[in-house]
Amino acid sequence: MVNLNITQGQAKLIKRAVWALPVLYVLFFVVGFPLVNISRGHTGVDLFYGMQVGTRDSGWTFKLPLIKVIEIDNQARNTTSGDKLIESPTHDLQVANIGLNSQWSILPGKCTADLYRVYGNEDAVEKNLITPGLYEVQKAISARYDAYDLQQKAALIAEEARTGMTDWVTQSQKMHGLANCIDVATVLFPHVEFSPQFKQATSEQTTTEQSIGTYENERTKEVTNAQASAAAQIRSAEATAHQIRANADAETAGVVAKAKALKENPKLLCYMIHKGWDGKLPEITNGQSPLPFSDVCR
C-alpha cells in the first residue's frame, strides 16, 4: 500500500485546481472565449440572445460574455443562374432563354447589421433579395428589346440591367426602412438562346447585311474611280486649252510683228514677193511690166 504524504500547502493547491476546472469549463464553453477574430473582408455582428448589440471590423477583438459574433462576408459575390436558362418573351414576341450572371457585395459597417436583421446572412440576402431582383430585371429588359438587339447590344443592355438592378434592390430595402446596402457591380446576360427558326432568320439577315455592305463598298469604289477619271480628263482638257491659247498668242504676236516690220520697211514686202516668185511670167498683161507687183516694187 502506497503511503501518500501531502502537505497542507499541496492540499490547498489541489483544492483550488478542483474548483478552477468547472469555472474554466463555464468560462470557455458556456460563456465563450473572450477573444474573437474577424476575417479580412468580413464584418462581425454582435448578438445578445438574438438581439443585435453592435458590429466589429476585421481583426482580433475582445468580446463580452454571452455575446455571439456572426461573420458576414463583404467581398464580391457572383450570382448566376447556372445551367438553368430563364424563359422570357422579347419585344418582338420571340421567346428567349436567358442566363444570368451578376457580381455584387454587401457594404460594410452598419449596413451589414441592418441587412442581417432583415434578411439574414449573405446567403439569405442572395436568396431573398438578389436572385428575385435579377429575375425581375431580366424580364423587364427582355420585354423592352427585340430578340436581335439582345444579341447585338450586349454592352448597352448590361449597363441598363445594372442600373435597373440597383434601383430594384434600393426600393426593396427602402420598404423595410433600410438605406441601400448593396453594391451591384455587374449584371450580364452571358447566354441568350432562341428557337432554331429565329437563329436561321438571324443568320440570313447577317448574310444580307454583309452583301449590302459589300455592294456599298463596290459602289463607293466605282464612284471614286469615276470622279478621279473625270478629274484627270478635266486636267488634260485644261492643259490642251492652255497650249492652244499659248500657240495662238505666239502666232498673233508673229503676225503683229511682221505687219509692223512691213509698215516700217515697204521694200521688205518686195523682197518677200520676189523671194516667193516662181520665175513664170503671166500670159496676159495690161500693157505694163510683166513682173509681178512691178508698180509697187520699183
Higher pLDDT, 292 or 236: 236
Which residue blocks in the chain are alpha helix, DSSP H? 8-25, 110-118, 122-125, 131-144, 147-152, 154-174, 196-264, 267-276
Higher pLDDT, 189 or 291: 189
- 240-298 pLDDT per residue, tens: 888 888 887 788 877 777 777 767 776 666 766 666 666 666 666 665 555 555 555 65
The bridge status of strand 68-73 relative to strand 182-193 is unpaired
- 36-45 pLDDT per residue, tens: 888 998 999 9
H or E stretch at 127: none
All structural domains of the chain, each given as residue ranges with its CATH number in brackets, are 12-72 (no CATH), 74-196 (3.30.479.30), 258-298 (no CATH)
- Banded model confidence at residue 124, pLDDT cuts 50, 70, 90: very high
Please state the rounded mean pLDDT for residues 117-129. Answer: 92
Let me know if 115 is exposed, middle or buried by CB neighbors in 10 A (0-12, 13-18, 19+). buried
User: Backbone phi, then psi, for 294, in 5-degree steps?
Assistant: -70, -25
Please tell me which of 15-24, 62-71, 179-188 the model is most confident about, judged by mean pLDDT: 179-188
Contact 47, 66 (CB under 8 A): no
Q: What letter does residue 16 receive in the DSSP assignment? A: H
Q: Is the per-residue pLDDT at 1 higher than 50?
A: no
pTM of the model: 0.56
The reported pLDDT for the residue numbered 2 is: 44
